[in-house]
A and B are shown apart, each in its own frame.
Chain A
Amino acid sequence: MIDFTFTEEQELFQKAAREFAETKIAPHVPEMEENDETWDPVIKELCEGEMMAITIPEEYGGLGLGYTVRMIALEEIARVSVATAMMMQVGGLGIDPIILFGTDEQKQKYLPGLASGEHFATVAVTEPTGGSDPKGCRTTYRKENGSYVLNGRKCFITNSHIADVQVVLAMDEDNPEAYSTFILEKGMEGFEPTHIEHKIGMRGCNTGEIEMKDCEVPAENLLGPEGKGMRVSMTAISECGRAGMIGCALGLQAACLEAAVKFANERILYGKPISKLQAQQFKIADIKIDLEAGRLLGYRASATHDKGERAGNEYAVAKYFTTEAAQRAAKIAADMHGGYGCMEEYAVTRYVRDSFVLGPSAGTSDIMKVIVSRWALS
């Protein structure tokens, strides 16, 4: 038999994450919406709330809880703030390559600080010329005096201005087929965050550009084998990254369902709540069906991942489905609100804006279809 339920302990983690989200994150949301650059308070909360330690092994000061618990936490946090969940998700995405490919020295150096929240992480792959096609990246490295020298620019990087530790993908200056990943630290000479992006949604989630100008990176900061950087970054993105986006999408779907149900029960039309109207009931059913299906896909993938098996394909299916479903859910929820669904004091307007940022992150829906079709055809 297949058991589709969380364990008692996972339910307790879910409860803890919900308490955390509602008491520590939710109070910051209005300010994040008002001022797009207010991210410090929630980053502090994420760190103090042990949220960045979830997947880090206990031997490095983490909780060693795996990807299902991480998805549970992200869903609960995204339910109140997708922007915060996004920073947490990409923070984890910066941690994962170090767990998977780091040397013992690198793990000892970086993971305890990332687990305790002293430091925050990110991963930087996307460039103006390459995201969906990572081989379009033009950031280069060359070996010089026993170190590596990086030059280039990365864009749309979540946590660009927050992260103390950034895992950066770069191409060999002399061999356009060879890519390597490096651990860059805040304050390294020639490395700095530059432009801050202002997105349609996820206000308060730090996104921006980073620039490397003759940035000298010590040889010991090479992450994974030289020339195998594509594998390092893509493994993390295809599993940890997509898992995180699924958590964000599920949380947004859940928020949309709650908002739709609440409004439908309160809004009186023709002398009765609109929840009594079948046209509105069907809309709620659509959101609910998508959420239920999304949870089955997402948590199936994370359970596979937690068993130590590859789950990139399963995550691609779930990432496509849940991020698309989140957009549908947000539109339905806003539609149900009628004119109120156009007013910013109603959270559904935020949900609509946030939902549009879910799709492109960690692989667009079209890229997910490429992966899924490759899986089906293989």
Chain B
Amino acid sequence: MLRIVVCVKAVPEPKAAEDIKIDPVTKSLARMEVPLVINPLDRNALEAALLIKEHDEAHITVISMGPPPAGDIVKECLALGADHGILLSDPAFAGADAFATAYTLAIAIKKIGQQDLVLCGRASSDGATEWVGPELAVFLDLPVVTMVREFAETENATWQVKADIEHGYRIVQVQLPAVFTVTQDLNVPRTLSFSGIIKSRKKEITTWSLEDLAIPANSVGLEGSPTIVSKLEYVESKRECQIIDGTLEEKVEQLISKLIEAGAI
């Protein structure tokens, strides 16, 4: 049986992006003040695991680090088809950068036991560092393939995957266990179903605190984060409307010039 871990993050609902405030002290996003959803690319990662499970025997554990409300997205993952959920929740975990997040996740994954495949979204829609997956692989001492857009199992746990690179893709063979970070091109995530929610009634969410992970407090959260955010500012996007006059040909000429000038084409 293939043992799969999918790492998911609770991120602010994209439609509520304008309501997100920045905490002036921690310089992190005040996520709890807006509705939280599963990070969109993590849904692609979960979908990949669910598709594997449709064809092969597999056990899917979803793991997330966040405050108690993040448990809602773990519950949602169970309703989508994951078998077990783990929420890493402790005030000490707050303010973690990608490094501390990856470290904490890695400790928790080791605590679960031997896994064959760890799947993560390529990036989160809020932090967007793209580091958690690769750093997680380092902490787990596993090979990692980033930006996976297609994969197919081959032989003896050797998987062939197609992964994006700038202006193209690469085909990689990797021996499991491994960590993959996935892109939105990998699949179209399924939507929640009512029967899935009913089935999730019997599935468990385990909550682990700092004490459960038995690691020092200064290795996690803000204290364990080497990244220093010196400044975080709101970006105001402004719209500008220009009326182009002239004949149709002149308008097209002007439009093309303006688009080139703006670097749009």
Contact = CB atoms under 8 A, between A and B. Distances in A.
Interface of A: 8-9, 12-13, 15-16, 19-20, 23-24, 49-51, 53-54, 63, 65, 69, 73
Nearest to B35: A15
Contacts of B194: 13, 16, 50-51, 53-54, 63, 65, 69, 73
B248 interface: no
Listed from nearest, the 6 A-B pairs whose CB atoms lie closest are A16-B192, A19-B191, A50-B194, A12-B197, A63-B194, A19-B192
Contacts of B72: 8, 12
Contacts of A23: 191
B76 A49 contact: no
B129 interface: no
Nearest to B194: A50
A73 to B, nearest CB: 8
B195 interface: yes
B191 A24 contact: yes
Contacts of A19: 191-192
Interface in B61-99: 72, 75-76, 79
23 contacts: A8-B72, A12-B75, A12-B79, A12-B192, A12-B197, A13-B194, A15-B76, A15-B192, A16-B191, A16-B193, A16-B194, A19-B191, A19-B192, A20-B191, A23-B191, A50-B193, A51-B194, A53-B194, A63-B194, A63-B195, A65-B198, A69-B194, A73-B194
A9 B193 CA distance: 12
A73 B196 CA distance: 15
A13 B197 contact: yes
Nearest to A65: B194
Contacts of A24: 191
Interface of B: 72, 75-76, 79, 191-198, 201
Nearest to B198: A63
A336 B226 CA distance: 52
B194 to A, nearest CB: 5
B192 A50 contact: no
A50 B195 CA distance: 8
Contacts of B195: 50, 63
Nearest to B191: A19
Classify the secondary structure of A's interface with B.
helix
A65 B197 CA distance: 11
A20 B194 CA distance: 10
Contacts of B79: 12, 16
Interface centre among B72, B192, B193, B194 (most CB of A within 10 A): B194
Nearest to A48: B193
Contacts of A12: 72, 75-76, 79, 192, 197
A19 to B, nearest CB: 4
Contacts of A20: 191-192
Contacts of A63: 194-195, 198
A45 to B, nearest CB: 11
B12 to A, nearest CB: 15
Contacts of B76: 12, 15
Nearest to B37: A15
A51 B193 CA distance: 10
A23 B191 CA distance: 8
Given A12-B197, A16-B193, A23-B191, 4 more contacts: A12-B75, A20-B192, A50-B194, A54-B194
Nearest to A20: B191
A63 B197 CA distance: 10
Contacts of B198: 63, 65
A264 B79 CA distance: 37
Given A13-B197, A16-B197, A63-B198, A8 B75 contact: yes
A147 B118 CA distance: 64
B47 to A, nearest CB: 14
A49 B192 contact: no
A9 B197 CA distance: 8
A13 B75 CA distance: 12
Contacts of A54: 194
Nearest to B188: A23
A9 B198 CA distance: 9
A91 B194 CA distance: 18
B142 to A, nearest CB: 33
Contacts of A53: 194
A107 to B, nearest CB: 20
A76 to B, nearest CB: 12
A49 B193 contact: yes
Nearest to B71: A8
Contacts of B201: 9
A19 B76 CA distance: 12
Nearest to B197: A12
A262 B75 CA distance: 31
The interface centre, meaning the residue of A12, A13, A50, A73 with most chain B CB atoms within 10 A of its CB, is: A12
A9 B72 CA distance: 10
A13 B192 CA distance: 8
Nearest to A69: B194
A49 B192 CA distance: 10
A9 B201 CA distance: 9
A317 to B, nearest CB: 28
Contacts of B197: 9, 12-13, 16
B188 to A, nearest CB: 10
Nearest to B196: A16
A40 B169 CA distance: 41
A63 B198 CA distance: 8
A297 to B, nearest CB: 25
A113 B195 CA distance: 16
A28 B201 CA distance: 32
Contacts of B196: 16
Q: Which of B76, B197, B201 has the most CB of A within 10 A?
A: B197
Contacts of A15: 76, 192
Contacts of B192: 12, 15-16, 19-20
